[in-house]
Structure 1
Amino acid sequence: MARLPRLSLAGQVHHVLQRGNNRQPIFTQAEEHLAMLQLLAQECRAAGVAVHAYVLMPNHFHLLLTPPEEGALSHALQAVGRTYVRRFNLAHGRSGTLWEGRYRSTVLQPELHLLPCMAYFDLNPVRASLVQAAQDYPWSSHGHYAGLRNDPWLAPPPAYWALGNTPFAREAAYASMVHEGVTSAQQDALTRSVLGGWVLGDASFVARLQQSAPRRLTPSQPGRPRKTA
């Protein structure tokens, strides 16, 4: 079965996942994390893609991005990938692919899933036993949204602004939300949607997007279609 084309819908929030080939490390030192963040900021700014959140794990990374037009997302990420792989291979005396394959992506409904997805990113290092708490991990956007540092290239989404009327209120509310964590159902839904490339949202959100989407947005039902009388 031919694989579905990746979603790239203008003005929609996309959850992006990229893994290392055979789960191999893609970040081995601080300089490599910094290089990836600089490339993301540079190429997304050039393509007009808003970067809302990120987490760089040892062998994969997650991003939340909003492209201004169709094609902008892939243009920015391909430019990031090419440059990063070239630098990584040169530094490590290797050649060939670094990625598992093409990046995975899906669209999510921001009102329902954007903040849980950001918390899901922030808690990835905790689930992997890299740190005890989200604020201890330097390679995610958690520090920016919890008021621990300033990443001026990030674009806070409307859902974050709605957390409070002042920066302190928003930062405190966000840190509290991450501390409370995400449910196993939310975690499973976020993982399944990005791996499968299926839109994550309620029925009305999916139906609205489907009107202009170039492919189906949810899995088809198993089995043969019902016969009509």
Structure 2
Amino acid sequence: MRKVIFAEGEVYHIYNRGADKREVFLNDLDRHRFLQDLQEMNTSAPVVNSGYSFMRNLLIHPGSDMPAPPCCRIKGEKLVNILEFVLMPNHFHLLLTPLRPAGIQSFMQKLGTAYTMYFNKCHCRTGMLFQGPYQSVHIKREDHYEWIPHYIHANPLKLRPPLASAEIKLAFLRSYKWSSFRDYAGLGGFPEIVNKTLLEEFFARDGGFESSMLRWLKNRRDLAIEAKPR
């Protein structure tokens, strides 16, 4: 377990990327699996078969290429509230609130082990998948609350050439499947994974989460990956 102390009820930006910057999500099956792990590893109960078979559930809505809500076999109590997530080819971002002592540590250990076991078996490899221990930033100032949630959701913009306007950028983010932004935009998404209550209450004063995101995009010129909030 990490020695970092995560306080219950506080908000933390958690992120990690592949060893040697390698891609850790090679196809949609990988991304579906990680999302399923986000739900199934979020439990205080032991997960004794974290390498469980994934092929029993492809997590696709019938007649659609959109992911369906992950199947649920959770017992025990949740370790964390997942406020946001974004999957990129070689890294991921999470915004978490621990619900119990060592909640984040336990959740991230289960998540990393389960996904690495799956990835190595599926792609015929061995060894470490991620570059090392996940990184964390405590979101404790109001300006961090205003900045970090939008920064996390804006990451997929780096997968496209620069887009002309904030409105075009927002439309792209609404179409990006591997992010919780669709949940906040009212487009479905993953309600079994994402707890929107805290951020929706915070951004209600600014006209709602999506309106705040649009204003943030209009005011941001440089969307380079940064390890810590400004």
Q: Quick one: which amino acid aligns to residue 216 of structure 2? A: G
Cα distance change, pair 122–192 in 1 and its aligned pair in 2 (3 A): closer
Alpha-carbon distance in 2 for matches of 1:84, 1:111: 33
Instruction: Give me the identity figure in percent.
Output: 27
The equivalent residue for 2:68 is none
Q: Quick one: which amino acid aligns to residue 173 of structure 1? A: G
Taking structure 2 as the reference length, the TM-score comes to 0.71
Larger Rg: 1
Report the aligned-residue RMSD: 2.9
Alpha-carbon distance in 2 for matches of 1:129, 1:7: 37
1:135 aligns with 2:135: no
Q: Where do 5+ consecutive residues of structure 1 fail to align?
A: 195-199, 201-229
Cα distance change, pair 184–79 in 1 and its aligned pair in 2 (3 A): same
Structure of greater relative contact order (alpha carbons < 8 Å, 6+ residues apart):
2
Q: Quick one: which amino acid aligns to residue 191 of structure 2? A: P
Cα distance change, pair 192–156 in 1 and its aligned pair in 2 (3 A): same
Query: Deviations for 1:67-107, whole angstroms, at most 9, x for unmatched residues?
Result: 12331111111111111111101111110000000100121
The equivalent residue for 1:156 is 196
The equivalent residue for 1:91 is 122
1:146 aligns with 2:185: yes
Alpha-carbon distance in 2 for matches of 1:178, 1:7: 30
Question: Out of 69, 72, 86, which is 2:100 matched to?
Answer: 69
Q: How many positions carry a matched residue from both structures?
A: 186
Alpha-carbon distance in 2 for matches of 1:150, 1:91: 26
Q: Secondary structure at the match of 2:107?
A: helix
1:174 aligns with 2:209: yes
| 8 Å Cα contact 1:122/1:140 also seen in 2 | yes
Q: Where do 5+ consecutive residues of structure 2 fail to align?
A: 45-77, 164-168
The equivalent residue for 1:41 is 39
Q: Secondary structure at the match of 2:23?
A: coil
| 8 Å Cα contact 2:15/2:135 also seen in 1 | yes
**Deviation (angstroms), 1:185:** 10
The equivalent residue for 2:12 is 14
Alpha-carbon distance in 1 for matches of 2:101, 2:85: 21
Taking structure 1 as the reference length, the TM-score comes to 0.71
Question: Out of 84, 106, 130, which is 2:137 matched to?
Answer: 106
Question: Out of 138, 147, 151, which is 1:116 matched to?
Answer: 147
Cα distance change, pair 45–111 in 1 and its aligned pair in 2 (3 A): farther
1:58 aligns with 2:58: no
Query: Deviations for 1:146-174, whole angstroms, at most 9, x for unmatched residues?
Result: 01114222111434124449xxxx9x732
Q: Secondary structure at the match of 1:97?
A: coil
| 8 Å Cα contact 1:54/1:62 also seen in 2 | yes
